[in-house]
Structure 1
Amino acid sequence: MEFRKWIGREVEMIYEDAKGSLSRRLVRVEGFSGKHLKAFDLAKRQPRTFRTDGILALMPPAAQSEQGVHGSPPFASISASPRGRPSRGFSF
C-alpha cells in the first residue's frame, strides 16, 4: 500500500490491531517510517502510531450525512483476517 501520498491529508482508515479487533478511524496522516504510520486521530484528538501491516484500507473521508461523520453504510460482517486469524463479525 502506498502511504506517502496520504501524508498531510485527512483519511478514513480501516485498521486491525494485534488482537484482531477492527476499527474505522478518521485520521490526519503525519508521517510514515518503515513499519509504522504516524497520524492524528481526529475523534480521540490525540496522536497515534499504527503498524502498517494492520492498515487494511485508506481512503478519502466520506461526505457527512445523516448517518454521521463517515456518511457511508455500515460494513458487512467480516469473517476472516488478512493476517490469517479469524475475526469477529462487526458493523459500524
Structure 2
Amino acid sequence: MQVDIEKYVGKSVEMIYEDSKGRLTQRTVAIFSVRGGKVRVLDWGKRAFRTLSASRILGARPVKHSVS
C-alpha cells in the first residue's frame, strides 16, 4: 500500500521510512515537493534536505512542529 504523500506538501509529518538496506527509520520531516516518485523533504532530525523514494514511505501522519 502506497502512502498518498502529496497531500502533505507544505506540512510537517512524522513518517516511517524503509531505507535501501531494509532498515526502518522514524523521521519528522517537512514535505516540500513530490515529483517522479521522489519526495523532497527537510529532515528536522538531521537538519538537512533529503530526497526520499516515495515507494519506501510506509506511513505518515501530520504533526505540529515549531522551530526553536
TM-score, normalisation: structure 1:
0.63
Amino acid aligned to 1:59: R
Greater Cα radius of gyration, structure 1 or 2: 1
Instruction: State the structure with bigger RCO (CA 8 A, min sep 6), 1 or 2.
Output: 2
- Runs of 4 or more, structure 1, over 3 Å off, are none
Amino acid aligned to 1:45: R
Q: Cα deviations across residues 32-77 of structure 1 (Å, max 9, x unaligned)?
A: 0111111000111100011011100010228xxxxxxxxxxxxxxx
Give the 5 Å matches for 1:14-33. 14-33=16-35
* CA distance in structure 2 between the partners assigned to 1:39 and 1:3 by the alignment: 11
Q: Give percent identity, aligned residues only.
A: 37
Uncovered stretches (5+) of structure 1, i.e. residues with no partner: 63-92
1:37 aligns with 2:23: no
Give the 5 Å matches for 1:1-92. 1-61=3-63
TM-score, normalisation: structure 2:
0.84
